[in-house]
Copies of this chain bind each other. A is one copy, B any other.
């Protein structure tokens, strides 16, 4: 095992991503990744000199994939409420893969994170808010959504609710708890036909 030309870097990120999403940044070690890949800890340090380096790369890759997924939603969906449900479904799918949001976990670990990681965590949430603000704004203007106040406040509330609902649903081992909370948040925004 452990071919010299294997893309250990990428595979290490895959394993580390899962570990952070389940156990948090302080809940795993190089030894865990090394064992999963059948390589030594020293090999991992070649690809990621410090754990802080590993963490930064993790967030960058995760955000890139997330942003791409959001772009996919934009391409496929017309209705703003549908877009929001697709957004919530990203979280639901992660939860059913027995994982948490990578950056939700890192937000919990925030006080123990190296500074470069902190900035990248915030950037991830900034991107989420930016996408949501646009969807909310367009949805309201199109008469598909109805809500009071600034889209940014609502966007932040949506992110917070989904992140929190995910954490709670996992603690109970009941993914439907997440679905119920997400649906409550989104349904509240849909323009009533009777108005």
Write the residues of chain A forming the contact surface with B, with a CB cutoff of 8 angstroms. 22-24, 26-27, 100, 104-105, 107-112, 118, 121-122, 125, 149, 153-154, 156-157, 159-165, 167-168, 170-172, 177, 180-181, 184-185, 188
Contact = CB atoms under 8 A, between A and B. Distances in A.
B163 A168 contact: yes
Contacts of A170: 107, 110
A94 to B, nearest CB: 14
B172 A157 contact: no
Overall SS of chain A's interface: helix
Given A108-B108, A111-B27, A157 B181 contact: yes
Contact of A180 (B104, B121, B153): B153
Most chain B C-beta atoms within 10 Å of own C-beta, residue among A100, A104, A149, A161: A161
A110 B107 CA distance: 15
Nearest to A148: B187
B184 A110 contact: no
Contact of A153 (B26, B160, B172, B184): B184
A171 B109 CA distance: 10
Pick the 10 closest A-B CB pairs, nearest first.
A164-B164, A108-B108, A160-B164, A160-B165, A163-B164, A26-B26, A161-B161, A157-B181, A107-B167, A27-B112
